[in-house]
Amino acid sequence: MGDDSQLNSVEAPGKRLPRSIVGEVALSVTLFAISAAFTYHAIIEAHQGKSIFTVVDTLGFASQFLGFCFDPVNFAALLLPWVWDDVAVSTPFRQVGWFFIGIGYLMLLIAWSERHGFI
């Protein structure tokens, strides 16, 4: 019959995959570039004299993408629900990422509150 070694090599459901350094670095650099682009756009908005809350809104998105850089595979999996079973082992810097994401959400909350008249 067939070779059973291929059947036994399949990962058990719910088991986290090992991290791929090449994939993480490539995704992390991409997310950092997106964060840098948002930061540059915020600087341009500030030089154009736009509202401080518009600049804070843009910097909030930049902070979130910067936070995604610290555990890129797992944060990308949050955005792609069909790969939630394949989430990798977390990096040691995951808490630093959550710090930047939290700061980003706070900045977005302040900017959107002002935009909708709560401040």
If one counts the domains in the chain, the total is: 1
Which has more confidence, 117 or 63? 63
Residue 5 confidence (pLDDT) above 50: no
**Residue 11, helix vs strand vs coil:** coil
Tell me whether residue 59 is in a domain. yes
**Residue 31, helix vs strand vs coil:** helix
Tell me whether residue 8 is in a domain. no
End-to-end CA distance of the chain: 72
Tell me whether residue 45 is in a domain. yes
Tell me whether residue 103 is in a domain. yes
Full residue range of the structural domain in which residue 95 is found? 16-115
Q: pLDDT per residue over 6-61, tens digit each?
A: 444 445 555 666 667 888 889 899 999 999 999 999 999 999 999 999 999 999 99
Residue 2 confidence (pLDDT) above 80: no
Q: pLDDT per residue over 56-113, tens digit each?
A: 999 999 999 999 999 887 787 777 766 666 676 777 888 899 899 999 999 999 999 9
